[in-house]
Amino acid sequence: MSSQTLLYIIIAGIVSLILAIFMYGYKTKFSNKKKWMYGFLRFVTLFSVLLLLINPKFKTETYSIIKPSLPILVDNSSSVKELNQQGNVKSFIAELKNNEALNNKFELTYYSFGSDFKSNDTLTFSERNTNISKALSATNELFKNEIAPTILISDGNQTLGNDYEFSTASYKNSVYPVILGDSTKHIDLKIAQLNNNRYAFLKNKFPIEVILVYSGTENVLSQFEIKKGNTVVYKEKVNFTETENTKILSLTLPATSVGFQKYTAQLNPLSEEKNTSNNTKQFAVEVIDQATNVLIISEIVHPDLGMLKKSIESNEQRKVTIKKPSEAVALLNDYQLLILYQPNRKFFAVYKEIDKLQKNTLTITGLETNWKFLNTVQNNFNKEVTYQTEDITGILNPNYGTFAIDEIGFEDFKPLETLFGELEMLVPNEIVLEQSIDGYTTETPLLATSELNGRRNAIFDGEGFWRWRAQSYLNSNSFEDFDNFIGKLVQYLASNKRRSRLEVSNESFYYNNNSIKISAQYFDKNFVFDSRASLTISVENTTTKNKKEFPLLLKRNFYEVNLSSLEAGEYRYKVTVDTESVARSGSFSILDFNVEQQFLNADVTKLSRLATNTNGKEYFISEATKLIDSLIENDAFQSIQKSEQKTVPLIDWKYLLGLIIIALSLEWFLRKYNGLI
């Protein structure tokens, strides 16, 4: 409290005393006893009110004991069950919970992980993937400002994410791996990896690469074969020794018929093998009759062109060719979609041929675009430019309904460059991305699509979006999100198929260790996306005839369902709209591949290096008690006393208001009782 505030309080006390004396001590006929009583009550009231007006501030200090945190990360993947360690894990967690000394010293928190990282200790050991790196990174972020030694209960076998041994280089706290399983080496043959294209073209051959691995000391002979149904389409004998324990086979298979083709790769097991599930792997190829051909026409060289080719061709069904306008004129009819990059007057013959052939187009404009030419050569859009440049970003239109788009962080992407001016759409259109300048929406389209007289066109008014793909990779460690966005735009523009009120999108086959998602869009009779509809999918296993129903959940401008709970097999589905006689049917296959069954042992070496890199120590599950004792006895992990100082204004002190009410009420009651009111 400052000296100035203290002076105000003294003055308030003096003023309150003078007023009380004046009211009850000066020329009054009360007895001395009543004078003192009434004067005291009035003094209390006046002084309390003045104190509230002065509102002095008091400092309070509280002390608390903060225990160090002890996050416990538990591997909830099915590989733990395959190694028969689930009982040991549950026993160890029970021991942690019941150890009084450990709980007195640490604040224990429990997390489980598989594909994702979750805050709970409910264990099913059914996760189909293991991402140790994600679990450790999330824990490091949660406890980066705390003393928090971390217990990692795992077999160390990771199937997703970055290498956790190296991704923990910046980890702030010590990691104590509890190793599930043992380091005993068993003789084993396995298909470590099989790489193949998802799509193949009819009457062509598609490549397959297989990596075969042997663990053992003796020389062995086996046979690798690929079957399609019961027919062997490829076989090869393979030899392994202790030193030559890896074989890489490269081969091709013919694509003889259109549609979904399922194959089984098998490395014949040895009689001594314990785990034979990793000797077999199913894979599939969808054979298509022809690719979607996309032609990019540009007079200039720009990084956007290479990015577009990479992004579009990430889907093997699509092929991209880049030509100059003079070279492209005679080729237009061979392509389903034309991408016109920064048109200028050299595009005149191209536009004339486009009008003749009624081709779908995506026009991309930027700093090198000749808008005077472009405004006259087509009738879809118009832009009056001043030849000044500006930087713009994109904001996704949540009401866009022509096709489903995920929000991939457009607002946070690097700005694009364009010529200053308002882009005016001259035909009915839907805006995909709106232009934003310094965080403010301009209500001008950055990307818009239109459909008129059977032709589909789009305009993208900005250059430099190669940076968007790079930024998307930095955000998610994958190009997939951005490539899916470009792929959906290309898929829409490359097709002239008439739109249906219910559109369903799914893959022809899925692997059961990945997400199995089906999306749908439903439009009202005016072909406006209806976000109030209720969609249901009925799924039937064609072999067992088991049927299941799932609701589709609304996600921005589309509906989606995750069918990852389904077992491997062939399925038929039907998507229906409640209260409407609109439905769509289709089929898909789920291929059985449990990557968690591929492991025979714990990865002791990697878990040991993880402990060393973070100044921790590894323990086998049988040594769990030693870990608990070492944590309890480790003086580096101590509780700390934390003091917290608060400045509290007197006006927050409710008791003073109560004192004023009591003093006034008591004074009134006494005066009333004595007949003075």
Distance CA(85)–CA(621), nearest Å, equals 9
Q: Identify any residues that bridge with 536 across adjacent strands, giving them in sequence order.
A: 551, 576
- How many CB atoms are located within 10 Å of the residue 491 CB? 16
Do residues 101 and 39 make contact, with C-beta atoms less than 8 angstroms apart? no
Residue with tokens 């229906």: 576
Residue with tokens 């930087």: 391
- pLDDT at residue 676, as a whole number: 64
CA distances from 153 to 81, 112, 181, 344, 636 (A): 13, 9, 11, 63, 22
Record the tokens describing residue 190, joined without a space.
């396995």
Q: In the chain, what is the straight-line distance between the N-terminal and C-terminal CA atoms, in Å?
A: 41
The helix/strand/coil state of 534 is coil
Question: Which amino acid, 199?
Answer: Y
Q: Identify any residues that bridge with 640 across adjacent strands, giving them in sequence order.
A: 66
Q: Which residues are CB-contacts of 26 (< 8 A; sequence separation ≥ 6)?
A: none
In 3D, which of 377, 389, 463, 388 has the Cα closest to residue 426?
377
- pLDDT at residue 432, as a whole number: 93
For residue 64, the surrounding DSSP H or E stretch is strand 57-66
Residue length, the chain?
677
Distance CA(213)–CA(412), nearest Å, equals 44
Q: Identify any residues that bridge with 382 across adjacent strands, giving them in sequence order.
A: 424
- pLDDT at residue 670, as a whole number: 76
In 3D, which of 555, 517, 535 has the Cα closest to residue 408?
555
Handedness of CA 308, 313, 317, 321 (dihedral sign): positive
CA distances from 168 to 54, 490, 609, 627, 636 (A): 56, 40, 11, 21, 21
Distance CA(447)–CA(365), nearest Å, equals 11
Do residues 385 and 420 make contact, with C-beta atoms less than 8 angstroms apart? yes
CA angle 609, 610, 611 (to 5 degrees): 90
Distance CA(159)–CA(430), nearest Å, equals 41
For residue 511, how many C-alpha atoms fall within 13 Å in the half-sphere facing its CB? 14
* Domains of the chain, start order: 3-60+648-673 (no CATH), 68-181+601-638 (3.40.50.410), 188-288 (2.60.40.10), 292-493 (3.40.50.880), 502-593 (2.60.40.10)
Distance CA(25)–CA(262), nearest Å, equals 106
Distance CA(560)–CA(555), nearest Å, equals 7
Residue 195: φ, ψ to 5°: -110, 130
- What is the pairing mode between strands 175-179 and 150-154? parallel
Residue with tokens 């070492």: 630
Rounded to the nearest 5 percent, the helix, strand and coil shares of the chain are 30, 35, 35
For residue 416, the surrounding DSSP H or E stretch is strand 416-419
Record the tokens describing residue 523, joined without a space.
């439009």
Average pLDDT per 10 consecutive residues for the chain, totaling 677 residues: 77 82 69 74 83 77 82 92 89 93 93 89 84 92 90 91 83 92 80 88 89 90 93 94 92 90 92 85 87 93 95 91 94 94 95 94 95 93 87 90 86 92 91 88 90 91 94 90 93 83 88 87 82 93 93 89 90 92 91 76 89 92 92 87 72 76 81 69
The string over 200-231, giving b where at least 16 C-beta atoms fall within 10 Å of a residue's C-beta and e elsewhere, is bbeeeebebebebbbbbeeebebebbbbeeee
For residue 325, the surrounding DSSP H or E stretch is helix 325-328
Residue with tokens 């609109």: 582
- pLDDT at residue 54, as a whole number: 80
Record the tokens describing residue 189, joined without a space.
């043959």
- How many CB atoms are located within 10 Å of the residue 467 CB? 15
- pLDDT at residue 186, as a whole number: 77
Residue with tokens 């003078």: 18
